[in-house]
Amino acid sequence: MPKLSDDYSTLSREVAAAGARLVVVTKTHPVELIQELYDLGHRDFGENRVAELEEKHARLPKDINWHFIGHLQRNKVKNVLPLVSLIHSGDSLRLLREMDKRADDSRVDVLLQYHIAEEKSKYGLTPESGRELLESIRKEPLENVRILGVMGMATYTDDKEQVAQEFRTLHEIYSSVKAEYFEEEPTFSEISMGMSGDYEVALQQGSTLVRIGSLLLGKRNYD
């Protein structure tokens, strides 16, 4: 499929030129499409449903870096941890403690998800609840969970300035958290923001990970 190859090449070059990494979001898309991108050299793929992640992980090459990008329930942590390289949706202390307990002395990499959008339906920490979480971890450190940065989703709107402001807010949160809690930890370096409709704005605001699906792969099949 030459078009996918061309589109992928153009998009990956654009993202890399901005100093970021492309996570191709493959939810509802078939394993054959993922394999095609894998054969083009891509390794970072994102899923937001545990059952779909488990199925695809079983059928695809084991050197894929799977990113879990959806809301993660604590009772699903044990299923997800062995399969993923990075969890983008660390949105509560209870979830992080559950990951720490279930990790079995293996390292779990996670991002703190912050709520930066207008929509109340989106998950995420506030700056205040994030501070409470980090203060709790400072007093009682996580043994197996490593926090690598932050994640956020902007409001679904055509107002690019609003989106840019929300991404600036996330970048400011990242900088504040970095300075106060992770100043001596170079691994705290990720800002996961930007999807198909707003990734260009996110790159301008300093994103290091963009999560792109429909722009590259087309509409999702929810049948």
Give the chain's mean pLDDT: 96
pTM for this model (two decimals): 0.95
Give CA torsion, residues 204, 205, 208, 214, to 10 deg. Answer: -70
Residue pLDDT, tens place only, 30-78: 999 999 999 999 999 999 999 999 999 999 999 999 999 999 999 999 9
Using an 8 Å Cβ cutoff, are 155 and 167 in contact? no
Of 2, 14, 67, nearest to 40 by C-alpha is: 2
Q: Tens digit of pLDDT for each residue in 74-130? A: 999 999 999 999 999 999 999 999 999 999 889 999 999 999 999 888 899 999 999
Q: How confident is the model at residue 3 (pLDDT cuts 50, 70, 90)?
A: confident
Domains of the chain with CATH codes = 2-208 (3.20.20.10)
Residue 105: C-alpha distances to residues 81, 135, 163, 166, 201 (Å): 12, 23, 39, 36, 38
Q: CA dist 37 to 6, 71, 160, Å? A: 11, 25, 30
Find, among 162, 211, 188, the residue nearest to 44 by Cα.
Answer: 211
* Assigned token pair, 73: 């329930």
Whether 115 and 125 have beta carbons less than 8 Å apart is answered as yes
| The pLDDT of residue 1 | 45
- What is the C-alpha R_g of the chain? 17
Report in angstroms the alpha-carbon separations of 115 from 49, 67, 152, 217: 20, 19, 6, 27
pLDDT in tens, 141-185: 999 999 999 999 999 999 999 999 999 999 999 999 999 999 999
pLDDT bin (cut points 50, 70, 90) of residue 133 is very high
**Residue by residue, what is the 3-state secondary structure of the chain?**
CHHHHHHHHHHHHHHHHCCCEEEEECCCCCHHHHHHHHHCCCCEEEECCHHHHHHHHHHCCCCCEEEECCCCCHHHHHHHCCCCCEEEEECCHHHHHHHHHHCCCCCEEEEEEEECCCCCCCCCECHHHHHHHHHHHHHCCCCCEEEEEEEEECCCCCCHHHHHHHHHHHHHHHHHHHHHHCCCCCCCCEEECCCCCCHHHHHHCCCCEEEECHHHHCCCCCC
